[in-house]
Amino acid sequence: MNRLFDKSIVLACCIAAALGLAVDARLVAAFCLGVIITALAEVAQGERARRASEAGSYVYVIVAVFVPSFMPFAPLAFYDIARRVRREHAWPALGIGIIFAFALVADLRAGALTTRTLLLTTILSAAATLLSLRTAQLEREQERMRRIRDGLQERTLALEARNRDLADRQDYEVELATLAERARIAREIHDNVGHQLTRASLQTEALRVVHANEPGVAADFADVKRTVDEALQLVRASVHALNDNAADLSVQLERIVEDVRSDGGPQIELEVLAEHAPANVVNCFAAVLREALSNTMRHARAQNVTVRCMEHPSFYQLIVTDDGEGGIRACSRGVAEGMGLGSMRERVEALGGTFTAGPRAGAAGWRVFATVPKQQGDEAR
């Protein structure tokens, strides 16, 4: 848009410089060719088209040297020549400018054009060249500013993504620390308070037996034992509640995946679609995932690993899929299994679930498939 505005001004000045000249075929041809060449310079696309339009501008100036009628519209050609001038290729433009200056002097001496027209052409040629150089510099600055703006935008987006990742990581660490503290408290209660209450219950029962001949004392010890047993049941319920809350399925699986991830290893995608799962199911799936990823890293030479854990209305499901080659080829009960597959199968079947592992049907890679019924998982608590 800037160049179209510049050329409109230059063309108007060229027409003003040509006023007073006799309107003949040469002047009309000079006007038409000048407008066509400067218009082609704006629509030229590709390196060849640009070179052709630049050559047309040079040819127009050369024709103006020999045909005075082309002189008034030569500033349009100088504008297009100046826009593509580079320091290392400035000699042709400088040479054509000097030749044009000599031609102006020759036409002035010969009286081919009026002094007014030649003077306006000289001033306008210099002004068009400077205007073109200024516009070219402005365009370069605008392009540089756009690149800077795009770079800053990319950095801003990258920083925002990094901040989100850091915030998610911080939330994950906080959740992990909270779960670890809950597990520690559950262990402390189980190991200390639970054992002490169990000991008190046994001692009370023993004293009740010793004082069996004293009905009043035995009844008192029986009441104390019932109270201690109730307290022990409450402590056990609290410990189980803390232990279940400490076993967060999403956090446990994420921690295992983070431990396995490495710069040179496969890309691991984790998707957990289960909100609440019993502690035994969490521990089972964590052990299965740890062993499955270990087998993948050691045997499969996979590029991508997909881990999906889902909660269905009646069962929990864990699927681990990779696109590796080779791997373990034992996948059914009738075939001898390694210790890893056997351990995974035993853990799943201990909760009443089903376990299969083997090559993917119709595709390269390996798949581990484990399901645990919800009723079995809840009862095994």
378: tokens are: 């809840």
What's the CA gap between 325 and 296, in Å, rounded?
Answer: 10
**Closest of 83, 70, 67 to residue 128, by C-alpha:** 83
**Closest of 101, 137, 99, 95 to residue 118, by C-alpha:** 101
pLDDT greater than 80 at residue 142: yes
pLDDT, tens digit, 9 for 90 and up, residues 341-367:
888 899 899 999 999 988 887 777 888
In this prediction, residue 264 carries a pLDDT of: 65
Q: How many CB atoms lie within 10 A of CB 73?
A: 27
Name 379's Cβ contacts closer than 8 Å, sequence gap at least 6: none
Higher pLDDT, 378 or 279: 279
Of the listed ranges 90-104, 184-198, 303-317, the one predicted with least confidence: 184-198
Name 269's Cβ contacts closer than 8 Å, sequence gap at least 6: 304, 305, 306, 307
pLDDT greater than 90 at residue 117: no
Q: How confident is the model at residue 95 (pLDDT cuts 50, 70, 90)?
A: confident
In this prediction, residue 333 carries a pLDDT of: 36
**Closest of 58, 73, 80, 59 to residue 131, by C-alpha:** 80
In this prediction, residue 320 carries a pLDDT of: 93
What's the CA gap between 242 and 317, in Å, rounded?
Answer: 24
Higher pLDDT, 265 or 160: 160
34: tokens are: 């000048």
Share of the chain above pLDDT 70, in %: 87
In this prediction, residue 380 carries a pLDDT of: 46
pLDDT greater than 60 at residue 336: no
What's the CA gap between 318 and 372, in Å, rounded?
Answer: 9
pLDDT, tens digit, 9 for 90 and up, residues 29-75:
988 988 888 888 888 777 788 888 888 888 888 888 888 888 888 88
**Closest of 60, 72, 74, 76 to residue 10, by C-alpha:** 76
Q: What is the mean pLDDT of residues 170-181?
A: 72
What's the CA gap between 272 and 318, in Å, rounded?
Answer: 9
In this prediction, residue 354 carries a pLDDT of: 93
pLDDT, tens digit, 9 for 90 and up, residues 236-249:
766 666 655 555 77
The DSSP secondary-structure symbol of 50 reads: H
Higher pLDDT, 336 or 360: 360
- What's the whole-model pTM score? 0.45
In this prediction, residue 245 carries a pLDDT of: 54
Distance separating the N- and C-terminal Cα atoms of the chain = 75
Of the listed ranges 145-154, 283-292, 328-337, the one predicted with least confidence: 328-337
How far is C-alpha 79 from the geometric centre of its chain's CA atoms?
45
233: tokens are: 């049941």
Q: What is the mean pLDDT of residues 13-22?
A: 83
Q: How many CB atoms lie within 10 A of CB 337?
A: 16
pLDDT, tens digit, 9 for 90 and up, residues 182-217:
667 777 776 777 777 787 878 887 887 887 787 887
Q: Is the sign of the CA dihedral 287, 291, 297, 301 positive or negative?
A: negative
Amino acid at 112: A
Mean pLDDT of all residues belonging to the chain: 80
Give me the phi and psi of 337, to 5 degrees please: -110, 155
pLDDT greater than 90 at residue 307: yes
In this prediction, residue 332 carries a pLDDT of: 38
For residues 218-229, one letter each, b for 16 or more C-beta atoms within 10 angstroms of the residue's C-beta and e for the rest, the string is beebeebbeebb
Of the listed ranges 21-35, 181-195, 301-315, the one predicted with least confidence: 181-195
Residues 30 and 73 sit within 8 Å (Cβ to Cβ): yes
Question: Radius of gyration over alpha carbons of the chain, in Å?
Answer: 44
**Closest of 193, 198, 207, 190 to residue 241, by C-alpha:** 190
pLDDT greater than 70 at residue 158: yes
Q: In what order do the strands lie in the sheet with 315-322?
A: 267-273, 304-311, 315-322, 366-373, 354-359
The DSSP secondary-structure symbol of 211 reads: T
H runs (alpha helix) in 247-308: 249-260, 279-295
